[in-house]
Chain A
Amino acid sequence: MLILLTGLLLGGTYTLIALGLTLQYGVARIMNLANGETLVAACFVTFWLYTGYGINPLLGLLVIGPGAFVINWLIYAWLMQPLVKRARNRGMLEVDSILATFGLLFLFQGLMLQAFGGSYFNYEFLARPFSIMGDSFGLNRVVACVAAAVIAAALYVFLYHTDRGTAVRAVAVDPRAARLVAIDVRRTAAFAFALGGAITACAGTLLSTFYTFNTSMGVLFTMKALIIVIMGGVGDIRGAVLAALVLGLTETLVASLLDPGLTLAANYALFILVLLFRPQGIFGKRPA
C-alpha cells in the first residue's frame, strides 16, 4: 500500500512532465530532447527563488510557468520555425529537430553547470509527515501531486472545452485539414510548444519540492517523459496520465523491492514491453 501510494504520488508529477512533451511533439511535431533541461532549469529557479527570496514554490509557479511559456515561444519562433519551413517531410523535421534540441540540451546543461556546478541540490519545503490511510508520506509529495492534478485538469478543460484548445487538438490530428478550417497552424503550433514548455517547467517546480536534483539529470527525465508519451500514445492525454502513473508505480516498486539503482532499467523494461506489444499506445488503435 505504501509503495502503491508513493508510486502514484510520483506518477502525478510525471504526468505533468509527459503532458508538456506530448504537446510539443504531438502538436508542434518537435521531438524536444531538451525537455528535461526545461524541467531542471525550473528546479533551479524554484530553488533560487525559495532560498534566496523566500518565495513559496507554489507561488513560484506563477512566475516560472509564464516565464517558461515566453522562453519556449521564442525558442520555437527563432530556432524551430526555420526547421519546420525547410523540412520536406515529417522524417526530415524529426531528424532536424532531434539534432537542434540536442544542441539546446547541451547549451542549457552547460550554462547551468556554469551557474550551479555539478553537485546535488535540495531544499526543505513542507517536509512534514502527512498520513494517508495509516501510512505517512512527505506533505511536499502530496502537495506536489495535488498541484499537478490541478494543472493537468486545467489543461484538460482547456483542450476539450475551449475553442483554442480544440484548435490545438485539431492540429495534433491533421495540420493540413486544420488549415482548411481556418486554424492558424503556425501560431497554434508555437502556442502548443510554449504551453508544453510551461507545463514541463511547472512539473520541475513541483518536483524540486521533494526531489534531489542536479544539472545533469535532464536527459533521464526526458527519457521518462518520452517513454510515458509513447506508452500513452502520442497526443493522447488520458493515455499519458495512465502511463505516467504506471511508470511512477513501476519505478517505486523496483526501487523499494529490488534496488534504487535500477530505476532506469525499470523504465526501459516498460519501454520494451510497450514497443513489443502496444507501440501505438495504450488506447491507440492499431495502425492500418
Chain B
Amino acid sequence: MNIPRNELLAVGAGLAGAAVLAFLPLVTEGFWLSVSVNIMLYAAICTAWALFSGPTHLVSLASAAFFGVGTYSVAIFIDVLPFPALVLIAVAAGALLAILVGLATLRLSGVYFVIFTLGLAELMGQIVTWVQTNFGGTIGLYIFTDLTEAHLYWMLLALTVIVFMTGWLINRSRLGLALRIIGNDEAVARHVGVDTARARIILFAVSGAFIAVAGAIMAPRYSYITPDAAFNPMTSFLVVIMALLGGTRRLWGPLVGVVPFTLVMDFISGHFPNQTAVIVGIAFLAIVYVLPDGVTGQLESLFRRRRPTDQGLLATTVEEGR
C-alpha cells in the first residue's frame, strides 16, 4: 500500500486533534460540556450522512429514523444486555433499515429515495407507537445508566474518529472508486461493470449504521424515551443543513458547518424556541442561494480560480433518461 504523504499527514493531524479534544471533559463541565456533546453528536451524524449523500448527491432525510432506531435499540434491551452489546444491536438495526430502504428505492431514480426518506422517521415513530400501545402497554421507556455527559462525549468522539477513518478507507477502496465513477457518469459506470445499486446500498447501510450508533450513545441522556423524541424529524433536517453548510466534497467539510450551526441552534432554542422552524427555513434558503457548495466548496473554488489550470466541470450525477 502506498499512501500519499499528504493523506498520512491529514490522518496524523486528525488523530492528534482528537487526542487533544479527548481532554475537554477534564477542563470543563456543565453547560459547555453539554454543548460539546451536541457538537460531537452532529459531527458524527453529519459526517456519516455526507459519507452517503456527498458522493451520491442523494439528499437523505432518514437520519432521524436511524437515530431513533439506535435509541430504541438501547431502550428496549437496556435491562438485559450490557451497553457495548446494545451498540452492536444499533449497528445491525441501522444497517438493516438502510438496506431495506435501499432495496426499495436506490435501484430507481434518486427522487424516489428522497421522497421515501422524507416521511421515514414519522413512519418509524408511528409503528413504534402502534406496537407499544397494542403489545407493550406504555408509550415511553425508561433508561437508567450511570453514564455521565463526559462518557457520552468520549463515546461520540470515538465514533466521530471511526466515521472519519471509515470514510478515508472507503475513499481508498473499490467502493470509493465505484462512487467516483458513478458520480461522473452513471451509464459508463454500469458498462464498466459497477453494480451501481449495490454500491449505493452498501454505502447507505454504512452511513445508517453510524447514525444509529449515535442514537444509541445519546439514549442515556434522555432517560425517558418516547417515539416523538427519538424519531424527531427535525434531526434529519438539521443534519442536512449543517453538512451542506460545511460542504460535502471533502470528508471534513461537514465539520465546518457543524460547529457554528450547533452553537447558533443552541442559542436560538434557548432564547427563541418558537422561531426554530423559521430559522431552519431561512438557513436552507441561504445555503441554496448563497453557498450551494458549502463553505469549503466556496473556498476551494476561490482558491482554484487563482490557479491557471482549470479542472473543468466537477461533474454531478445525471439521472439518465428518466
Contacts and interface: CB of A to CB of B under 8 A. Distances in A.
**Do the two chains touch directly in the complex (Cβ atoms below 8 Å apart)?**
yes
Given A111-B278, A219-B118, A279-B112, A89 B316 contact: yes
| A interface secondary structure, majority | helix
Interface size class of B (residues with CB under 8 A): 35 or more
B316 A98 contact: no
A33 interface: yes
A276 B122 contact: no
A265 B127 contact: yes
B57 to A, nearest CB: 6
A227 B120 CA distance: 13
B112 A275 contact: yes
Contacts of B108: 275, 279
B316 A88 contact: yes
A76 to B, nearest CB: 15
Contact of A262 (B116, B130, B276, B286): B130
A54 interface: no
A259 B277 contact: no
B34 to A, nearest CB: 25
Nearest to B126: A264
B122 A220 contact: yes
B59 A271 contact: no
> Taking each of B122, B240, B285, B322, which has the highest tally of chain A beta carbons within 10 Å of its own beta carbon?
B285
B278 A222 contact: no
A227 B115 CA distance: 8
B242 interface: no
Given A113-B274, A259-B134, A103 B281 contact: yes
Interface stretch (B4-12, B168-176, B255-263, B287-295): B287-295
A226 B288 CA distance: 22
A276 B112 CA distance: 12
A279 B115 CA distance: 13
Contacts, number: 129
A107 B287 contact: no
Contacts of A39: none
A107 B322 contact: no
B253 to A, nearest CB: 16
Given A33-B118, A99-B284, A276 B104 contact: yes
A129 interface: no
A223 B292 CA distance: 26
A103 B283 contact: yes
A2 interface: no
A96 B288 contact: yes
Contacts of A83: 288
Contacts of A40: none
B301 to A, nearest CB: 14
A94 B134 CA distance: 40
Interface in A247-288: 259, 261-262, 264-265, 267-268, 271-272, 275-276, 279, 287
30 contacts: A31-B111, A79-B285, A82-B289, A89-B318, A90-B322, A91-B110, A91-B318, A91-B319, A92-B316, A95-B57, A96-B288, A98-B59, A99-B59, A99-B240, A99-B284, A99-B287, A100-B288, A103-B285, A107-B278, A110-B279, A223-B115, A223-B118, A227-B115, A261-B130, A262-B126, A264-B123, A268-B123, A275-B104, A275-B116, A279-B108
